[in-house]
């Protein structure tokens, strides 16, 4: 079954055909680094990580290039730094590091390239100069603006009329604009804000030109897939198309546009005033990253998703079932199961792919021989690979969380000490049972259970896991 993706540009599902099968290229809008990323930001990170894994499987790792940018010059950053009394550079470095820690915890692969806006100012200036030269942009009062009337195709992604676009853009209707819908490519910077020398004076770029310049630098003027959240269709992605295609004589920008649906929290739009605002870090404090990832993939990427405590608990219980079944089995090497691959080939149908994993779980649980168990365990592990699931050691999952040996912190030391203590309690319980002191053995088991530690005796000895 060929890979099919829903293209926002054409509003239909299409068979994916890359420009060059030996160089498949994808660009996804990344974070603006001024604060902890929220759970809504996690959705595109996870969705396009699955697509990246799938493309690498289909075309080969060496033939896929995934670019996800970091916006580190923006008015939100300036405002946050001022509010914190923090240096702008320190703020962006700190929050970018936090974002990377979050995505690692969510088991996402790193993109092949992660360009930063501040490192591509020269490319932005060059693109703006081309737009001015072609009559698609103009200078006014130290600003440079894109002229939407000069682009006959403007609006082809969002399919909005002019009045809707002006309202949706939420832009200032400044007196120096030729048209209210025109948007900023470059704006002046006072001395207390970041700025760069340009032909139009000291200033900084508008948001939209940043992605156009970075994608051109690392993927070329035309590439295969551009992704992001539904909220980016207009104005951000619409403006990217306009300025990129006009800067290259009308050459197509991205061929396939993919957008994930909105995310709510407990049935309402996420808002600090509503008390339901959740950062990725908040969620990671409630559950392991794999559980958050599983919960996100339980819904189709294009559908709205309601993030609830119940959804997260369902994900935890589901992973418990998988890892309990895989526990103690040496999985046989296996190819990606066709049934899982077919689900993902159908516009990244992750809910169906997860249903296929449960089918494999059923096969594993009913297998009677060691060879059959190894076979189905291997298929289950392989089936989870493209979803970024079921790749951990079963004991590590069931005992709470994996520990990064490169991470050094008080929290890691505390977790290691706790594991040593649990292992010591298991040893003392075994000694008590060997001397027939069953009352002491039962006391140790009960004491551990009260602390959320469940002991399980088996042919290979005693293992433990945390209570669900």
What CATH number should be reported for the domain holding residue 325?
A: 1.20.120.640
Of 28-32, 411-415, 455-459, which gets the smallest average pLDDT?
411-415
- Shared domain for 254 and 333, answered yes or no, is no
Sign of CA dihedral 260, 218, 103, 232: negative
The domain that contains 191 carries what CATH number? 3.40.50.620
- Shared domain for 373 and 426, answered yes or no, is no
* 42-68 pLDDT tens trace: 999 999 999 999 999 999 999 999 999
* 115-147 pLDDT tens trace: 999 999 999 999 999 999 999 999 999 999 999
Average pLDDT over residues 137-160: 95
Whole-prediction pTM value? 0.87
- Shared domain for 219 and 133, answered yes or no, is yes
| Separation between Cα atoms, residue 284 and residue 277, nearest integer Å | 14
| Separation between Cα atoms, residue 104 and residue 396, nearest integer Å | 17
What's the structural domain count of the chain?
Answer: 3
Q: What does the radius of gyration of the chain's CA atoms come to, in whole angstroms?
A: 26
Q: Which of 3, 109, 9 has its CA nearest to residue 65? A: 109
User: Domain range for residue 309?
Assistant: 287-398
- Shared domain for 390 and 416, answered yes or no, is no
Buried b (16+ CB within 10 A) or exposed e, 13-45: eeebebeeeebbbbbbbbbbbbbbbbbbbbbbb
């Amino acid at each position: 079954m060929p890979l099919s993706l829903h293209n926002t540009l054409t509003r239909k599902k299409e068979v994916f055909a890359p420009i060059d099968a030996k160089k498949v290229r994808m660009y996804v809008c990344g974070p603006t680094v001024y604060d902890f990323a929220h759970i809504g930001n996690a959705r595109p990170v996870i969705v396009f990580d699955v697509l990246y894994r799938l493309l690498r499987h289909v075309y080969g790792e060496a033939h896929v290039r995934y670019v996800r940018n970091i916006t580190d010059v923006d008015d939100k950053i300036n405002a946050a730094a001022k509010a914190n009394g923090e240096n702008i550079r320190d703020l962006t470095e700190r929050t970018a590091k936090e974002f990377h820690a979050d995505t690692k915890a969510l088991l996402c692969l790193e993109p092949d390239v992660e360009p930063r806006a501040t490192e591509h100012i020269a490319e932005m200036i060059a693109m703006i100069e081309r737009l001015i030269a072609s009559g698609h942009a103009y200078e006014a009062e130290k600003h440079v603006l894109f002229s939407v009337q000069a682009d006959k195709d403007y609006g082809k992604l969002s399919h909005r009329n002019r009045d809707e676009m002006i309202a949706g853009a939420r832009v200032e209707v400044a007196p120096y604009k030729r048209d209210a819908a025109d948007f900023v490519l470059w704006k002046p910077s006072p001395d207390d804000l970041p700025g760069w020398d340009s032909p139009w004076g000291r200033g900084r770029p508008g948001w939209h030109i940043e992605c156009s310049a970075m994608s051109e630098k690392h993927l070329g003027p035309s590439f295969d897939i551009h992704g992001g959240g539904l909220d980016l269709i207009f104005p951000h992605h619409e403006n990217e198309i306009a300025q990129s295609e006009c800067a290259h004589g009308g050459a197509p920008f991205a061929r396939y546009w993919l957008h994930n649906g909105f995310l709510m929290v407990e049935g309402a739009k996420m808002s600090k005033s509503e008390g339901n605002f959740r950062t990725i870090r908040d969620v990671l404090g409630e559950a392991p990253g794999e559980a958050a990832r599983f919960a996100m993939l339980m819904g189709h990427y294009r559908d709205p998703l309601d993030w609830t405590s119940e959804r997260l608990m369902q994900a935890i219980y589901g992973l418990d079932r998988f890892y309990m079944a895989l526990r103690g089995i040496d999985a046989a090497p296996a190819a990606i199961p066709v049934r899982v691959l077919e689900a993902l080939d159908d516009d990244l149908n992750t809910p169906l792919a997860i249903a296929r994993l449960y089918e494999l779980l059923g096969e594993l649980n009913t297998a009677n021989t060691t060879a059959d168990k190894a076979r189905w365990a291997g298929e289950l592990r392989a089936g989870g690979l493209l979803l970024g699931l079921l790749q951990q050691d079963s004991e590590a999952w069931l005992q709470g969380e994996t520990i990064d040996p490169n991470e050094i912190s008080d929290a890691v030391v505390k977790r290691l000490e706790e594991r040593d203590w649990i292992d010591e309690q298991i040893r003392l319980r075994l000694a008590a049972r060997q001397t027939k002191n069953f009352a002491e053995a039962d006391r140790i088991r009960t004491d551990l259970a009260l602390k959320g530690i469940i002991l399980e005796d088996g042919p290979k000895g005693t293992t433990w896991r945390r209570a669900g």
